[in-house]
A and B are shown apart, each in its own frame.
Chain A
Amino acid sequence: MITGTPKPIEEILEMVEPYDNIIVAGCHGCVTVCRVGGEKEVQVLASTLRLAREASGRKIEIKEVSLERQCDPEYVELMRPYVEDYQAVLSIACGAGIQFLAEKFTVTPLLPGINTGFLGVTERQGEWAERCQGCGDCVLHLTGGICPVTRCAKSLFHGPCGGSVRGICEIDKDVKCGWQLIVDRLKALDQMDNYGKLKPYKGWDSARHGGPRRILREDMI
């Protein structure tokens, strides 16, 4: 899922300062699962903003909505009938969802209520960790299911490097060396021959290095 963290309330209050009526828009997708942008978070944020604004002497009117997904046009369109009745939309979906709203509703300012994080997993309730950088050319079959692009701080393809000490990465004592994890796992799977099969170089044109990406599935159009 795409993860994120709430923006500090002070920052959000500053963003909404010019407005007297706004929409707070959540998303039932990833951000609901990582408890930062779902229906409950919409209620809490809207209440918080109303209380803060009323206490400061200038009330704000808020419409609370939660779309199934903010990254799909059919759900975004559901907001069209009323979006222009409000001065701004504060979205707590991921950056993709927020931008999609901005793209569809061109005369309404869009404000981000969360800081979007990464593609990751829930390690336990309240703790998420990065697992994939969407490089567009997956090598997990050769690396024991552990991503070298993400789990190695340097995204090396032939690690571990000299900074790996007893399984720990030199960048932080709490970060495991991704390559040590890969080698240990390959050994456990009896697949060390895969280590030699890694590509001589990885093309990064399918990653962010080639600019904003697009997936076109002719079979689905």
Chain B
Amino acid sequence: MLPCTGRIDEALLLKAFENGADGVMVVGCLEGDCHYVNGNIRARARVERVYAILEKIDIGPDRIRMYNLSAGEGSKFAAYANEFVEQILELGPSPINVARTTTAQATSQEEAA
């Protein structure tokens, strides 16, 4: 949890994928409502850049998405979270996690043999 999505940068988002995330959902305040003027607008631009990177390296651009909400919209947050989880479940594990599972299986087979 960050006090403002303006702190999010491309490196942090990519790190989440390196750390095994199948999808990353960024939730910022409503546009025009940022306490730091344009933190959420900057965050959106960064999310879009990561979207383009994930597309180029075949991890899949749809694994990242930015939503905007006000702090009072709890039910909307739940709905967005469910929608995003659905989307990621449909996509399945990220190619990174697929590769990690394959390597782990190969290693355990080798060890067993």
Q: Taking beta carbons and an 8 Å cutoff, which residues of A are in contact with B? A: 9-10, 13, 40, 43-44, 47-48, 50-52, 54-57
**A55 & B53 in contact (Cβ 8 Å cutoff):** no
A48: min CB distance to chain B, Å: 5
Q: What B residues does A44 contact at CB under 8 A?
A: 10-11, 14, 53
User: Given contacts A9-B53, A57-B99, is CB(A51)–CB(B59) below 8 Å?
Assistant: yes
In angstroms, Cα B97 to Cα A54, docked, is 9
The number of chain B residues touching the other chain, given as a range, is 10 to 19
Overall SS of chain A's interface? helix
**A47 & B14 in contact (Cβ 8 Å cutoff):** yes
**B99 & A48 in contact (Cβ 8 Å cutoff):** no
**B99 & A54 in contact (Cβ 8 Å cutoff):** yes
Q: Taking beta carbons and an 8 Å cutoff, which residues of B are in contact with A? A: 9-11, 14-15, 17-18, 53, 56-59, 94-96, 98-100, 102
**B14 & A55 in contact (Cβ 8 Å cutoff):** no
In angstroms, Cα B99 to Cα A50, docked, is 12
A43: min CB distance to chain B, Å: 4
Closest residue to A13 on the B side, CB-wise? B57
Most buried by B among A44, A50, A52: A44
**A48 & B58 in contact (Cβ 8 Å cutoff):** no
Closest residue to B14 on the A side, CB-wise? A47
A-B pairs with lowest CB-CB distance, top 5: A43-B11, A47-B14, A55-B95, A52-B57, A44-B10
Q: What B residues does A10 contact at CB under 8 A?
A: 56
A to B CB contacts below 8 Å, 26 in the list: A9-B57, A40-B9, A43-B10, A43-B11, A43-B14, A44-B10, A44-B11, A47-B14, A47-B15, A47-B17, A48-B14, A48-B53, A51-B59, A51-B96, A52-B57, A54-B99, A54-B100, A55-B57, A55-B58, A55-B59, A55-B94, A55-B95, A55-B98, A55-B99, A56-B99, A57-B99
